[in-house]
Chain A
Amino acid sequence: SQTIHQWPATLVQPVGSPLSLECTVEGTSNPNLYWYRQAAGRGLQLLFYSVGIGQISSEVPQNLSASRPQDRQFILSSKKLLLSDSGFYLCASHRAGSKYEQYFGPGTRLTVT
């Protein structure tokens, strides 16, 4: 079966520090991968999506970036965190054989202080 792993689960970082969040997917190959942010009391905001290694599309032109160094690995980064970067970061993919059936990982809760 397919599983999405995310780490760390929780992170507290000071303003101006760098960020690296990792997502890996098991049980499938060449998946579409997504990064979302969910702010408290708000909906899901699509940040990046990737349809293959090195292919990243950005939906939000902020101080965040994404990379896909391997087929099933997706990394979200920032060089300098802002207070507004706090939120719940979710990685998503889709079921094998079902390009539009999207499912999510457990998430990383980031607090920028």
Chain B
Amino acid sequence: QKEVEQDPGPLSVPEGAIVSLNCTYSNSAFQYFMWYRQYSRKGPELLMYTYSSGNKEDGRFTAQVDKSSKYISLFIRDSQPSDSATYLCAMVNSGTYKYIFGTGTRLKVLA
């Protein structure tokens, strides 16, 4: 079993839709959770960073962590064609430097 599982997609949605992206993980020691957006041939861009369980909102983006279920989500409201990219989840536990990444979900927002 992989430490982090992420559906590769592609996920196609119409413009304006609410998008839900998810990762599951197996290591209960993970404490810090991140979501990245990566456009083709570019470096990943950090979108959301959360510690432990709960929700965090930033504009159209909401990150949710459920440590009891070992499940994290990224919600995108009012999705735009410019949101079309690959979204990577990542996580790490304190005291280590080894981040574990999902393989990414490709999102296409259709105009």
User: Which A residues are CB-close (under 8 A) to B44?
Assistant: 44, 90, 104
B60 at the interface (CB under 8 A from A): no
Q: Once the chains bind, are A102 and B34 in contact (CB under 8 Å)?
A: yes
B72 at the interface (CB under 8 A from A): no
Interface digits, B45-74 against A, CB 8 Å rule (1 contact, 0 not)? 110010100000000000000000000000
Q: What count of chain B residues pass the 8 Å CB interface test?
A: 22
Q: Which of B42, B90, B94 makes the CB contact (< 8 A) with A102?
A: B90
**Complex Cα spacing A14 to B99, Å:** 31
A57 to chain B, nearest CB (A): 8
**Complex Cα spacing A57 to B43, Å:** 22
Q: Once the chains bind, are A107 and B99 in contact (CB under 8 Å)?
A: no
- Closest residue of chain B to A6 (Cβ to Cβ) is B43
Interface digits, B79-111 against A, CB 8 Å rule (1 contact, 0 not)? 000000000101010100111011110000000
Tell me the number of A-to-B contacts counted with CB atoms below 8 Å.
53
**Complex Cα spacing A46 to B92, Å:** 13
- Closest residue of chain B to A59 (Cβ to Cβ) is B98
Q: Once the chains bind, are B43 and A90 in contact (CB under 8 Å)?
A: yes
Q: Once the chains bind, are B102 and A43 in contact (CB under 8 Å)?
A: yes
B32 at the interface (CB under 8 A from A): yes
Q: Once the chains bind, are A101 and B49 in contact (CB under 8 Å)?
A: yes
**Complex Cα spacing A88 to B103, Å:** 14
